Amino acid sequence: MGTRLIFFNGSVVAEEDVHISPFDHGFLYGDGIFEGIRAYNGRVFKLSEHISRLFASAKSLLLKIPYSPEELASAVIETVRANALKDAYIRLVVSRGEGDLGLDPLHCPNPTVIIIADSIQLFPESLYESGLALASSAIRRPAGDVLNPQIKSLNYLNSILAKIEASQRGVPEMVLLNQLGHVVEGTGDNIFIVREQVLITPPLSAGILPGITRAAVMELARGEGLEVREENFTLHDLYNADECFLTGTAAEVIPAISCDGRAIGMGKPGPIAKSVRTLFMHYAREQGAPVYSNLSWL
């Protein structure tokens, strides 16, 4: 594609015209929040849910977003439309903004707001057919009283360290545990296992981000008559599961076939993971806030 157009503090401008201060606390300290959002077939998927989660994160950080939820949702749609995209990955970022070299957020009067509409491929397409090999990480997710995982902040160093470990160990994704040894999630995705036709995913209390794709998958699975439980499980349970898959805005739904050299189930994508992926992709392409007034051409 040509020059990308970015929403930057109230205007849609060319990528090269976006200038962020070196004193922005998002850059200096990771003081800010973001949402990853998808557009499918000319519709922005779960836009209101993403905007609501962004504002919830902002409230916890006492970060005042200088737009209403409705204005921000319109800005997302405007950015996708300006780039003439039907299918897109959208990154909505709100940083604390320019301040001084101290930590005090009160010295940052004007938050920085950026919306990027582009594309993303978290995993090669072939892995959606063959399945992921996972490994458990030595990195632990911080406890909720250390850094609340429900705040989707710009501080992703915990996940980046685990991603470095994945690269060093030659696997595409890691499984992170909490301090109690319970499986929590991947570096940027929620996790499900299947045991005797029951879908099991860690509860919010385990220390996970409440994924929007996760919630959609749970709703779709229940609509198909599948039982879905939110309960803690360990690596032993993961090794001995019948199936496993990961969910996330960027990852969508992707099966996992092994962990730490142990085959999960038959060591290939299972029928429930395949079915859930098909259900989700169909649902995602039919739902969402329209970007264009006339979708008949899509």
* Alpha helices, DSSP H, located in the chain: 25-29, 47-60, 69-82, 125-130, 157-169, 212-223, 235-239, 271-286
pLDDT tens-digit series, residues 226-250: 999 999 999 999 999 999 999 999 9
- Average pLDDT of 213-217? 98
pLDDT of residue 144: 87
pLDDT of residue 120: 87
* CATH code at 5-118: 3.30.470.10
pLDDT of residue 294: 65
Q: Is pLDDT at 298 greater than 60 in this prediction?
A: no
CA gyration radius for the chain?
20
pLDDT tens-digit series, residues 69-111: 999 999 999 999 999 999 999 999 999 999 999 999 999 999 9
Residue 90 has which token pair? 């959208």
Which residues are known to be catalytic? 152
pLDDT tens-digit series, residues 180-189: 999 999 999 9
Residue 34 has which token pair? 């973001």
pLDDT of residue 293: 82
Cβ–Cβ under 8 Å, residues 157 and 37: no
pLDDT of residue 2: 72
pLDDT of residue 297: 38
pLDDT of residue 295: 54
- DSSP secondary structure letters along 258-289: EETTEEPTTSS--HHHHHHHHHHHHHHHH-SE
Query: Residue 187: which of 257, 248, 232, 269 has the closest Cα?
Result: 248
- Average pLDDT of 277-296? 89
pLDDT of residue 296: 45
- Average pLDDT of 258-262? 98
- Average pLDDT of 183-204? 97
- Average pLDDT of 157-166? 97
pLDDT of residue 1: 54
Residue 258's CB is within 10 A of a number of other CB atoms, namely 19
User: Do 125-284 and 5-118 have the same topology in CATH?
Assistant: no
Residue 294 has which token pair? 């006339």
pLDDT of residue 184: 98
Domain boundaries of the chain, sorted by first residue: 5-118, 125-284
Tell me which DSSP letter residue 34 carries: E
pLDDT of residue 30: 97
Q: Which of 56-70, 104-118, 222-236, 282-296 has the lowest mean pLDDT?
A: 282-296
Tell me which DSSP letter residue 63 carries: -
- State the chain's mean pLDDT as an integer: 96
Percent of the chain with pLDDT over 90: 94
Q: Which of 55-59, 188-192, 291-295 has the lowest mean pLDDT?
A: 291-295
Q: Is pLDDT at 265 greater than 70 in this prediction?
A: yes
Task: Determine the Cα–Cα distance for residues 33 and 252; give it in Å rounded to an integer.
Answer: 21
Q: Is pLDDT at 193 greater than 60 in this prediction?
A: yes
Domain 125-284 is found in CATH 3.90.550.10: no
